[in-house]
Chains A and B, each alone.
Chain A
Amino acid sequence: MAASLYAADPPETMRQFEVEGLTLLYHRKSGLTHFLAPPAPQILAALSAGPASAAEIAARMGESFEIESEDPAAAIAARLAELEAAGLVWRT
């Protein structure tokens, strides 16, 4: 089975406000405000280049960041599940 591709709404449909290392995000499509901690905003940023699998997301993030994690695949999957439940990403 092929890995799921994840997608996110384009950045211009969201408003962001950074406070104390956290991101307050207003998502126009849902009218909801979310409080995001790293690496959730960075995952959304990685998806602004288009839909991607979890592995591709990790690779895109690796271009900008030094990734620190014992099990990157599991951590990214867990973050994606949270973002999916909030409606900020979905599987295509």
Chain B
Amino acid sequence: MRDARPLVRLLRDPAGAGQVKDWTSLVAVARAESLAGSLACRLEGLELPAPVEALLEAARRDGEAGRVQALWEAEMARRALAPLGVPIILLKGTAYAAAGLEAGRGRSIGDLDILVARPALPDVERALLAAGWEWVKEDSYDDQYYRRWMHELPPLIHRERDRMIDVHHAILPLTARPKPDMAAMIADRVALADGLFTLSPPDMIVHAAAHLFADGDMAGGLRNLWDIDRLLREFAEGDPGFWPALNERAARHGLLPAVGRAVRLAHHLYATPVNWCQAPISKSLISEATTPAKIGARHQLAAADLLYRRRLLARDGWGRARRPLIRLGFYVRSHWLRMPPLMLAKHLWVKARKPRR
């Protein structure tokens, strides 16, 4: 297996499971991409060889345990923060699981990510520290850097439960070029039954796309794109207003390019159904893409998309990362996206002076 395409194909179309020759490689890729639980849920109920079924059953059980643990961590954070009376918005995997979304099925969930309004940050920090969370790092530089420029508090870990929490006040670093409208995002939150919140459906997509294309180095990208596929399908089904709403929100947050790229790549890799007339697309293209032929061409991958696609699929049948140069390129880019050049130079200088291990 030279890249992750067989995994993508099977996620897209589980009926192909009967033709799989090399389950071992497929499972190794799925585990390396944190998609083993999602795959296992996707293949549930199919006639498969007994050893494969046993392995997938264990992956589903593991996914379920992870879901319970993630929701419990959210609940403990809710209890710790309840006296403050500030809305707590769940992000990423925990949000999908708490909202019962398809994207949460079997999904591996790492840290607890929450979003609060920036003015509430000091109170939230104090309340978490009082309830048993502790700083992970002692480094003053990183601390100062985090507080000044990042979109989240430095990571905290709970001393009894060993779980990390990331407290965000924005979805991108403050130094990044797009400036999402956080007030609007927080105002449009959706209440869950237990007193917690999620983002609105369009903002959930915007956040997932921003996280994937405008922030990190694309590690775990296939999983994040799978989230986007599941979310788009679920939100758009039976809601004709969804695509225009997504377009509007992506534009308002300055994230049309990222959302457009997410939609194109999800469509190409996971066959996400898209309403191309109303799908998010960069403004510069909207004016010229008005004829039916040009609208029809909107789904085509741009040249840069191909590079992203290669990066997303760069995993061999042993679970090894492939294409080190493209990876390095995206790593450098992730820093470039996060900060203006001068600040980047300073940041890299300080990092370089740290002892390397």
Which residues of chain A have a CB within 8 Å of any CB of chain B?
28-32, 85, 87, 90-91
The CA of A85 and the CA of B159, in the complex, are separated in Å by 11
6 residue pairs, one from A and one from B, having the closest CB atoms: A31-B68, A30-B72, A90-B79, A31-B69, A87-B76, A31-B65
For residue B160, CB closer than 8 A to chain A, the reply is yes
Q: Say yes or no: is B75 at the interface (Cβ < 8 Å to chain A).
A: yes
Contact B75 A29, beta carbon cutoff 8 Å: yes
Are the CB atoms of B68 and A30 closer together than 8 Å?
A: yes
Q: How far is the CB of A28 from chain B (nearest CB, A)?
A: 8
Please give 14 more A-B residue pairs, beta carbons under 8 A apart, in addition to A30-B68, A31-B72.
A29-B68, A29-B72, A29-B75, A30-B69, A30-B72, A31-B69, A32-B72, A85-B132, A85-B160, A87-B75, A87-B76, A87-B79, A90-B79, A91-B79
Least Cβ–Cβ distance between B97 and chain A, in angstroms:
13
- CB-CB under 8 A from A31, the residues of chain B are 65, 68-69, 72
Distance (whole angstroms) from the CB of A88 to the closest CB of chain B: 12
Q: Could you say which residues of chain B place their CB within 8 Å of the CB of A90?
A: 79
Chain B residue at smallest Cβ distance from A28? B68
Interface residues in chain B, defined as those with a beta carbon under 8 Å from any beta carbon in chain A: 65, 68-69, 72, 75-76, 79, 132, 160
A31 to B76, CA, bound (A): 13
Q: Is the CB of A87 within 8 A of B132?
A: no
Residue of A nearest to B71 (CB): A29
- CB-defined contacts of A29 to chain B, threshold 8 Å: 68, 72, 75
Complex-state Cα separation, A85 to B69, whole angstroms: 16
A residues within 8 A CB of B68? 28-31
**Smallest distance from the beta carbon of B118 to chain A beta carbons, Å?**
27
Residue of A nearest to B78 (CB): A90
Task: Considering the complex, give the chain B residue whose CB is closest to the CB of A27.
Answer: B72
A91–B131 alpha-carbon span in the complex (Å): 14
- Least distance between A22 CB and chain B CB atoms (Å): 20
Cα A85 to Cα B160 with chains together (Å): 9
Task: Considering the complex, give the chain B residue whose CB is closest to the CB of A87.
Answer: B76
Bound-state CA distance A29–B68 (Å) is 7
17 contacts between A and B (CB under 8 A): A28-B68, A29-B68, A29-B72, A29-B75, A30-B68, A30-B69, A30-B72, A31-B68, A31-B69, A32-B72, A85-B132, A85-B160, A87-B72, A87-B75, A87-B79, A90-B79, A91-B79
Residues of B within 8 A of A32 (CB): 72
Closest to B76 in A: A87
The complex places the Cα of A87 from the Cα of B69 at a distance, in Å, of 12
Identify the closest chain A residue to B160 (Cβ): A85
Q: Which residues of A contact B79 (CB under 8 A)?
A: 87, 90-91
User: Which residues of the other chain, B, contact A28 by a CB distance below 8 angstroms?
Assistant: 68
Closest to A90 in B: B79
Q: Which residues of B contact A91 (CB under 8 A)?
A: 79
